[in-house]
Amino acid sequence: MNAPSSSKWPAPVAIAPDLLAEIQAEFSREWLRIVTAAQHGQLTAPKDRRFRSEAWSASPAHAFNAHVYLLSAKVVDQLVDAAQVSDALRNRLRFSTMQWVEAMSPANYFATNPDAQQTMIDSKGESLLKGMRNLLQDIQKGRMTQTDESGFELGKNVATTEGAVIYQNALFQLIQYAPLTDKVHQKPLLVVPPCINKFYILDLQASNSFVRHAVAAGFTVMLVSWRNPLEADTDGIDSATWADYLQDGVLEAIKVTSTVTRQKQINALGFCVGGTLLASALALAHAHGNDPVSSLTLLTTLLDFEETGVLDVFVDEAHAQTREQQLGDGGLLSARELGTTFSFLRPGELVWNYVEGNYLKGEIPRAFDMLYWNSDGTNLPGPFFTWYFRNTYLENNLKHPGRVKVDSYPLDLGSLTMPTFIYGSREDHIVPWHSAYASTKLLRGPMRFVLGASGHIAGVINPSASGRRSYWSNGVDCACSDMPAQPDAWLQGAQEHAGSWWPEWLEWLAVQSGPQVKARTRLGNARHTPIEEAPGAYVKTRAV
């Protein structure tokens, strides 16, 4: 075989000589400072969470290693920033180097981690035995343990809000929650969670359950619990498409909710991918001549995929074609692969932190409901995923009127003119808040944008009673034409409020929901009778 021509090799990455000299000079100064401090016995462990234990400061050699590691990591970041490449390539370089930098931390290896060594001495070797046991158990499970999973059980201490499954088909179960107030608002709320995760992130424990909070505020709440397809399933679920999820999923759930509550129009909320599905389904309904939803809430949702943050490093034509060849005609994208991908978006917190604790020190992570949910992944039908990947992340087709068609019906997000509440999280690495804000330029009804502190999950799940974090809002609904074109301009005009954004959303939702009426204690109706108690069977199916 002939050697590839030189034109096929990537061009070397160039760095301006003056910038390179500056980086080298700074490295030399910092190296000299570290060495001098070490020679005079003045070097303590750096202020980094990985080196916070006393063992790092007590060992000069290990403290030196930690400083050199952080200095090297800083230089790598500076070189990536200085590289004369496109922004897209720079982002890929930054992501790739982050993986190596995080992996090379001396905290990750027993031979270079004095804390793990001291733990072994103090435990007379027991920590190493426990760590090996933890590793073998995780190998058998096929995933890393991030929390004490024995502390949780669905329906017992997570996903505990009272209710019943009143409808199910091959794609989802519909849960109706029991009222907690004597009177409820006339219009119900349908919640559409993402299908790439299980719904109970919105119904963890009573103290931090978004669902229970809404029910307690006097709303009739229905929720879609997506099915978790398995390799053993033989009913064709692995061939489900994006159109199936719109028609037999979201629109069917809206129809049942409307029928059971006897309301021609309902309120609807979509979270993350659930919001993308919901908005697409409503555009499809409008194309059919129907407008079944009178108000829309979108939580950390992408409708415009121009800027997708760190996930953009996975997006290119070659990846799309590979996935289409693998899964386009059927098959499942595994929960294990999805979970690994999302964990390595933040490897320091979601991977290497547990390597040190679980394996090097033999610890069992503390019980934490959000991490229990995070470990309970779902599989995705291949045709659904491949359509979604190409038409959103790769080609950004949904934002363009008519470019996406479902059964020859063109979708136009601009046809959605109902009042809309749009929420973004300021530190969200999955749905950057600037991209969540971009939905204000696609929808056409009166809207309110609210920005919460923290990230993709913690920003959303921020109960009022906790008094934690803050959010930004201007407190009024605006015509789409009055929303600032740039998100930073909106932020300059918004006011920061202490605590949770939930009360403002509930106040907004109450305005959209009509008068209060006597709550019906009977769940379902004559046609849609309770099948089983919430949280239902679909959510209890674990990916294998």
List, in order, residues 6 or more apart from 522 with CB less than 8 Å away.
none
Binning the chain into helix, strand and coil, the percentages to the nearest 5 are 45, 15, 40
Token pair recorded at residue 481: 């034409």
Q: What is the DSSP letter of 247?
A: I
Secondary structure E strands in 475-515: 495-498
Catalytic residue among 195, 272, 478, 480: 272
Beta bridge partners, 15, equal: 83
CA 193 to chain centre: 11
CB 538 within 8 A of CB 172: yes
Q: What stretch of H or E contains 386?
A: helix 382-388
Residue 379: name the closest of 231, 242, 243, 277 by CA. 231
How many angstroms separate the CA atoms of 433 and 410, rounded? 28
Residue 422: name the closest of 488, 489, 478 by CA. 478
How many angstroms separate the CA atoms of 107 and 88, rounded? 31
How many angstroms separate the CA atoms of 51 and 203, rounded? 36
How many angstroms separate the CA atoms of 21 and 253, rounded? 62
How many angstroms separate the CA atoms of 45 and 54, rounded? 8
Secondary structure E strands in 419-531: 420-425, 447-452, 470-473, 495-498, 516-518
Q: Give the orientation angle of helix 251-261 with respect to helix 273-287, to 10 degrees.
A: 80
Residues 501-535, buried b or exposed e (16+ Cβ, 10 A)? Answer: bbebbbebbeebbeeeeeebeebbeeebeebeebb
Neighbours of 238 (CB within 10 A): 22
- 272 a catalytic residue: yes
Residue 536: name the closest of 167, 150, 151 by CA. 167
How many angstroms separate the CA atoms of 53 and 483, rounded? 49
CB 281 within 8 A of CB 406: no
**3-state secondary structure (DSSP) of residue 435:** helix
DSSP annotation string for 300-369: S--S--S--GGGGGG-SHHHHHHHHHHHTTS-EE-HHHHHHHHHTTSHIIIIIHHIIIIIIS---PPP-H
Residue type, 149: E
- Which positions are annotated as active-site residues? 272
